[in-house]
Amino acid sequence: MSETLSVPGLDGIPVQLRRSARARRMSLRVGRSDGRVTLTLPQGMSERQAGAFVRDQAAWVRRAVAAVPALRVVRVGGSVPLLGRDVPVVAGSGRAARHLGATIAVADDVQAGRRVQALLLSLARTHLAASVDRYAEAIGRRPAKLSLRDTRSRWGSCSSRGALMFSWRLVMAPPEVLDYVAAHEVAHLLHMDHSPRFWTAVERLVPDYAVHRAWLRTDGAALHAIDFTG
């Protein structure tokens, strides 16, 4: 059962306590997409010690929570980012959402957000597969598999067997950012590390990759704050 700590000076922000037998010291984390504050602490450490630790970090916690992007709910009458541009979501007919170029049309009911999500998932697969194919051909390697997930901690990964995984939310980012992540993971087919030779391989594929990497750091959290559940 999770514990919640209320700490003076946090303006009512709750802190979730997570006890870990593997933890050797306390660590404090603020979720970049949901603003959830979690304190991991070793087994046996008291709430008094935990509270004192958080109080010392109160100013940082308040700043980090304030910087979390506001939740954005996808519904008819609103909009959703697609390849870096906000696309209006309008009322339509049929069971599936449709991308009509300038708009996304979807039935105006409680499933609207989920249907738009399904459309974006399909578009993400199309765009990421095309990018991966292009970069894989450039390096002369083929991935074993390509899958999509809704990951929070990483935008993509490459397994030791050459299976690539991407966050489908990349389809909401500018296309150059999506391309960079595809190139990054394809480069891992050559080098399964982040050594200088790996980054040299990425730079050969995407010479201005640093710009797109920076975009993910500054703006990527906003993509996770988009809610399709209605």
CB under 8 Å to 93, separation ≥6 — which residues? Answer: 105, 107
pTM assigned to the model: 0.81
126 and 26 assigned to the same domain: no
Find the domain containing 132 and state its range: 73-227
Q: Do 173 and 62 sit in the same domain of this protein?
A: no
pLDDT for 135: 98
Question: In this structure, are 83 and 42 located in the same domain?
Answer: no
- Whether residues 125 and 221 share a domain: the answer is yes
Look at residue 199 in the predicted model and tell me its pLDDT: 98
Element (H, E) at 65: helix 58-66
* Main-chain dihedrals φ then ψ at residue 182, nearest 5 degrees: -60, -45
Residue 132 shares a structural domain with residue 177: yes
Q: Is 118 in the same domain as 135?
A: yes
pLDDT, residue 224, reads: 93
Choosing from 19, 34, 66, the residue where a domain stops is 66
Last residue of a domain, one of 66, 89, 106: 66
Q: Are 56 and 148 members of one domain?
A: no
Q: Which two three-digit tokens encode residue 91? A: 């009322």
- Residues 10, 116: one domain? no
pLDDT of residue 2: 60
The number of distinct structural domains making up the chain is 2
Do residue 61 and residue 87 come from a single domain?
no
CA proximity to 97, closest of 89, 105, 108: 105
CATH, residue 124: 3.30.2010.10
Long-range contacts, stretch 167-171, CB < 8 angstroms, 24+ apart: 168/120, 168/121, 168/124, 168/125, 169/120, 169/124, 169/223, 169/224, 169/226, 170/124, 170/128, 170/223, 171/82, 171/83, 171/120, 171/121, 171/123, 171/124, 171/127, 171/128
- Report the chain (230 residues): mean pLDDT per 10 consecutive residues: 75 87 89 84 86 89 86 95 98 94 96 97 98 98 96 93 98 98 98 97 98 95 91
pLDDT of residue 1: 46
